[in-house]
Chains A and B, each alone.
Chain A
Amino acid sequence: MKKKLKKNKNFNPDQRSFFFEDYLETNKRNKSSEKNNYFQDRIYILFFLFFSLIFIFSVRILHVSLNKIEIFNKEKSIHKFTLLRRDIVDRNGVLISRNIKSFHAAINPKLIVNNNNFIIKLKLNFPDLDIEEIKKKLDRGKYFYLKKRISQNDKEKLWSLGEKGIIFEPFQSRVYTHSSLFSHVIGQVDYDNYGISGVEKFFDKELKDKKLLKTPLKLTLDANVQYLVSKELSIALKTFKAPGGGALLMNVENGEILSLVSLPDFDINIRAKLADKKYINKITKGVYELGSIFKTFTIALALDNDIVKPETLIKNIPKSIKCSRYNISDIKDFPKNLSVEDILVRSSNIGTLLIARMIGEEKYKKFLNDTNLQKNPDIELEEVGNPIKFDWNKCKLETVSYGHGITTTPLQAATVYGILSNGGHMIKPKLSNNEEKTLRERIISEKTSRDINNILRKVVTDDNGTAHLADKEGYNVGGKTGTSQNYKNKNESLNTFISVFPTQKPKYVLLVMLENPQVPENLIYNYKGVKIKAFRNEAGWNSVYVAGKIIEKIGPILAIKSKDFNADLYVAEKIN
């Protein structure tokens, strides 16, 4: 028993009396304490809830304070104009095309108060509109477009009608400040800002790149040069009564195109369906038999393969040669013995043909392949022509040697002239001013290139040369003429002149092409210092004359920008 008591924690051996616990009170107290605990828990929960709310609000307030909240949606602000397409500028930064805010005029018939009144107002202000059609559409009661891409003047006129039902739908349209000047190069966009032709189509993705929207797309074209070339060519079309023509100016070192003109042209600010073939880009899409232009290629190939030298005499050149079913002859009587140089200067078909036979078909084929003359032109445009493929049957080499029976685009022919004159390096014609470096693959030797440049210069300066009218003092122009007949109509001709200048170290190649030019009635030529009237119709009397005029005009611009110049040096002189 004692042991049991000792084990009890509450056992007190000194205790003399008993204490009686009132369990009723204790229970009450316990209950009250439990109640208190219960309330305390509630307070804690409430406190926790409030604390959580405060914490959440504090975090949110902190978040709001730290984050920048757009109180005003600037993007949707009516004043904000975000471009959808990059600008296009020329090599000097001159603006060629830009997006602007334009409007379509639409009609919501439900908002028109008095249809008849509205029709009368429209009739008075816009007599060109098809009123009957508008009446029908109004009766149908559905939303329709009255006029798409309205001018500011038309917008103001419509505004002044005071009709609620006229809705001006904003959209971005493309404006071309030079209207028709770059029509064949720049191309157009549709209403949704997608490029549908020319550079606009080729560079569509780049032009819509949001990261580059503020950086304009820089082209290699020069607006001033383009204008001068275009103007001279337009005058030439009138002078020679030619229905069409084209011109191309290219840097022979890097293939940069400074000017590309194809006439007739059209205003690219006006959306029109141009189905007529005369509006094609004659330089890149037109595929032609360019005639004697090819003789230069034959001579260059022969020189490069060491088959002949410029002074090598080709003896006993016959007056005509029968090749398969063709009878090949020259348009003029030439001496029996001609040097290789003379053959090109005088443009002898038979002489060139004999040289081509020395070269052989395989080498000629390889040259055509290396220079891409028979492939699709590689340029940053969608509008490119496909040279007509042919079989190398009997007599093909002979006809090809002087440019008959072979077609190519003027762009490709000019590029090959660039290659022949730049020291023999491959070039790729380009329109965008990117800095990408191209592989300078060698096509012909530097010596051959020098020889060709000298011969081309003689074509212009020699008494027997065919391009005397392009001899402009100070520019050392060299080149080769080509007169070919239209396949379908033998009376129609295509006269081409491809020039390179300055021939000491060519920098530019200029191609001038006229479609079916006529002998001008009132034109007086300054031919070798003598004033004469036109009496012939070959390229030497029209395309060459035009090329001379163009070089005279663009020469100073090109010269001023030449890196060879030191600005302090006196390079211009006025005599008269």
Chain B
Amino acid sequence: MLKIKFLISIITFSSLLFGTSIIKNQSRELEKNIYNLSKKINLIEKDLNESQLDFSYLTSPSILENKIELIDHQDYITMNYSKIFPSLLTFINFKNSIAIKDNYNEEKIKKK
């Protein structure tokens, strides 16, 4: 009876031991893979950080302006006045004033 119990416990222990070692080995493989992947991620993150920095530097207004001056030889037509309005209301008012002026001129022409 004692022998049977002893045997059962040894078998259980051994099987658990083997099972654990197999699982541990597999998890170790996984850990290795995770490590390698995280290493790659870190490198990519580092590259991303550097790219973001480069992007931020290269697209900073002063650099862009210098590059435009160097590379782009097209002449842009400047607007006499700013035609972009701070609010819709000012735009409508501006449009209305032009329309009133036009109407007034048309009436004048008609009268003549």
Residues of A559-576 at the interface with B, using a CB-CB cut-off of 8 Å, are: 559-560, 562, 564-566, 569, 571-576
* Cross-chain contact B83 with A474 (CB below 8 angstroms): yes
* Cross-chain contact B86 with A475 (CB below 8 angstroms): yes
Bits for A369-388, please: 1 = Cβ < 8 Å to B, else 0: 00000000000000000000
**For A224, what are the chain B residues with a Cβ–Cβ distance below 8 Å?**
61
Secondary structure dominating the interface of B: helix
The smallest C-beta distance from B5 to any residue of chain A, in angstroms, reads: 9
Which stretch from A7-15, A75-83, A336-344, A409-417 is at the chain B interface? A75-83
Given the interface pairs A58-B16, A65-B20, A95-B52, the reply to whether A502 lies near B90 with Cβ below 8 Å is: yes
Does residue A473 face the partner (Cβ distance < 8 Å to B)? yes
Bits for B78-96, please: 1 = Cβ < 8 Å to A, else 0: 0111111111111100100
Residues of A146-180 at the interface with B, using a CB-CB cut-off of 8 Å, are: 175, 177-178
* Cross-chain contact B60 with A507 (CB below 8 angstroms): no
The smallest C-beta distance from A464 to any residue of chain B, in angstroms, reads: 23
Residues of B64-88 at the interface with A, using a CB-CB cut-off of 8 Å, are: 77, 79-88
Does residue A47 face the partner (Cβ distance < 8 Å to B)? yes
Q: Which residue of B lies closest to A65 (CB)?
A: B20
Given the interface pairs A47-B6, A98-B49, A576-B79, the reply to whether A177 lies near B57 with Cβ below 8 Å is: yes
Which of A58, A74, A181, A555 is in CB contact (< 8 Å) with B82?
A: A555
Q: State the interface size on chain B (CB cutoff 8 A).
A: 42
Does residue B28 face the partner (Cβ distance < 8 Å to A)? yes
Given the interface pairs A51-B9, A79-B43, A575-B80, the reply to whether A559 lies near B86 with Cβ below 8 Å is: yes
The smallest C-beta distance from A261 to any residue of chain B, in angstroms, reads: 13
* A559 to B85 CA separation, bound complex (whole angstroms): 6
* Cross-chain contact A181 with B56 (CB below 8 angstroms): no
Does residue A288 face the partner (Cβ distance < 8 Å to B)? no
Most buried by B among A74, A79, A474, A505: A474
Bits for B43-62, please: 1 = Cβ < 8 Å to A, else 0: 10110011011001100111
**For B77, what are the chain A residues with a Cβ–Cβ distance below 8 Å?**
574, 576
* A562 to B62 CA separation, bound complex (whole angstroms): 25
Given the interface pairs A472-B82, A475-B82, the reply to whether A181 lies near B60 with Cβ below 8 Å is: yes
**For B17, what are the chain A residues with a Cβ–Cβ distance below 8 Å?**
57, 61
Which of B13, B49, B57, B82 is in CB contact (< 8 Å) with A474?
A: B82
* Cross-chain contact A566 with B82 (CB below 8 angstroms): no
**For A279, what are the chain B residues with a Cβ–Cβ distance below 8 Å?**
none
Residues of A124-142 at the interface with B, using a CB-CB cut-off of 8 Å, are: none
* Cross-chain contact A98 with B16 (CB below 8 angstroms): no
* Cross-chain contact B53 with A555 (CB below 8 angstroms): no
Does residue B99 face the partner (Cβ distance < 8 Å to A)? no
Most buried by A among B32, B81, B89: B81
* A566 to B60 CA separation, bound complex (whole angstroms): 28
* Cross-chain contact A81 with B45 (CB below 8 angstroms): yes
* Cross-chain contact A95 with B86 (CB below 8 angstroms): no
Does residue B39 face the partner (Cβ distance < 8 Å to A)? yes
Given the interface pairs A177-B53, A472-B81, the reply to whether A72 lies near B31 with Cβ below 8 Å is: yes
* A310 to B88 CA separation, bound complex (whole angstroms): 29
* Cross-chain contact A71 with B28 (CB below 8 angstroms): yes
* Cross-chain contact B81 with A474 (CB below 8 angstroms): yes
* A51 to B81 CA separation, bound complex (whole angstroms): 94
* Cross-chain contact A571 with B82 (CB below 8 angstroms): no
* Cross-chain contact A474 with B94 (CB below 8 angstroms): yes
* Cross-chain contact B84 with A559 (CB below 8 angstroms): yes
Bits for B1-38, please: 1 = Cβ < 8 Å to A, else 0: 00000100100010011001001100010011001001
**For B24, what are the chain A residues with a Cβ–Cβ distance below 8 Å?**
64-65
Given the interface pairs A51-B9, A65-B24, the reply to whether A178 lies near B60 with Cβ below 8 Å is: yes
The smallest C-beta distance from A478 to any residue of chain B, in angstroms, reads: 13
Bits for A44-88, please: 1 = Cβ < 8 Å to B, else 0: 000100010010011001001100000110100101110000000
Does residue A94 face the partner (Cβ distance < 8 Å to B)? yes
* Cross-chain contact B20 with A64 (CB below 8 angstroms): yes
Does residue A120 face the partner (Cβ distance < 8 Å to B)? no
Does residue A476 face the partner (Cβ distance < 8 Å to B)? yes
* A58 to B77 CA separation, bound complex (whole angstroms): 83
The smallest C-beta distance from B52 to any residue of chain A, in angstroms, reads: 6
* Cross-chain contact A81 with B86 (CB below 8 angstroms): no
**For A95, what are the chain B residues with a Cβ–Cβ distance below 8 Å?**
52-53, 56
* Cross-chain contact A560 with B84 (CB below 8 angstroms): yes
Does residue B42 face the partner (Cβ distance < 8 Å to A)? yes
* Cross-chain contact A77 with B42 (CB below 8 angstroms): yes
Bits for A207-243, please: 1 = Cβ < 8 Å to B, else 0: 0000000000000000110011000000000000000
**For A562, what are the chain B residues with a Cβ–Cβ distance below 8 Å?**
86-87
Does residue A504 face the partner (Cβ distance < 8 Å to B)? yes
* Cross-chain contact B42 with A474 (CB below 8 angstroms): no
* Cross-chain contact A502 with B84 (CB below 8 angstroms): no
Does residue A552 face the partner (Cβ distance < 8 Å to B)? yes
Question: Given known contacts A64-B24, A571-B84, what 15 new A-B pairs fall within 8 Å (CB)?
Answer: A65-B20, A65-B23, A72-B31, A81-B45, A100-B49, A177-B53, A178-B62, A501-B86, A502-B87, A507-B86, A556-B84, A559-B85, A571-B85, A575-B79, A576-B77
* 26 residue pairs A–B, Cβ–Cβ below 8 Å: A58-B13, A64-B20, A65-B23, A71-B31, A72-B31, A74-B38, A79-B43, A80-B42, A95-B52, A181-B60, A223-B61, A224-B61, A472-B82, A474-B83, A474-B90, A502-B90, A555-B82, A555-B84, A556-B82, A556-B84, A559-B86, A560-B84, A564-B89, A569-B91, A571-B85, A576-B79
> Could you list which residues of chain B lie within 8 angstroms of chain A, going by C-beta atoms?
6, 9, 13, 16-17, 20, 23-24, 28, 31-32, 35, 38-39, 42-43, 45-46, 49-50, 52-53, 56-57, 60-62, 77, 79-91, 94
